[in-house]
Chain A
Amino acid sequence: SAVISQKPSRDICQRGTSLTIQCQVDSQVTMMFWYRQQPGQSLTLIATANQGSEATYESGFVIDKFPISRPNLTFSTLTVSNMSPEDSSIYLCSVRAPSEKLFFGSGTQLSVL
């Protein structure tokens, strides 16, 4: 299994500001995934973060809005930039363990006023 520490667990932010979410994994992993879960909906993949290269973004998500860092094999950050109320969601990071199971952080519940 993999244990992922994600922070902050929740935040309330003002429109136009940015928030950086951090995920720390207890083991080295090649890929980390960032998901968004809008209220009452399922998870949507934002991007895949590989160490040493630029993140790969899904359709509808761009680097200027959701810049990602992956400085090493155990850590990644996702920034939600220039926030608007539409960005209010739960943001989750995840990794795939050697067992191929996907493990998730506890999530960051973001509210934008």
Chain B
Amino acid sequence: KQEVTQIPAALSVPEGENLVLNCSFTDSAIYNLQWFRQDPGKGLTSLLLIQSSQREQTSGRLNASLDKSSGRSTLYIAASQPGDSATYLCAVSPHNNDMRFGAGTRLTVKP
């Protein structure tokens, strides 16, 4: 059974710092991996999707990498802003169907 782990569980940084969020998964036979952002009490917003054949995806200040063989993905956030404060969730799709989620990293960016 696919298990997804995110480290750290919480992270607090000053505004302007670059930071990395980590995601690991136990079964490397994945279809794709997706990073989401969740604001308190709200639904999820898709940030980046990486197909199993890809190594990374970029959108603005965000860059996500995937190393399938080692079961790892990272989300890099450049020049963090207070508006980036949210919980970031990593999810892997074992096939073209549902996704398995990590517990998330709660990020606080202090002004």
Contacts and interface: CB of A to CB of B under 8 A. Distances in A.
Interface of A: 6, 31, 33, 41-45, 48, 90, 92, 94, 96, 99-107, 109
B83 to A, nearest CB: 19
Interface residues of B, number: 22
Give chain A's interface secondary structure class. Answer: strand
Contacts, number: 51
Contacts of A94: 44
A45 B98 contact: yes
A99 B57 CA distance: 14
A33 B98 contact: yes
B46 A103 contact: yes
B97 A107 contact: no
Interface stretch (B60-68, B70-78, B100-108): B100-108
Contact of B91 (A100, A102, A107): A102
Nearest to A31: B97
A90 B49 contact: no
Nearest to A107: B43
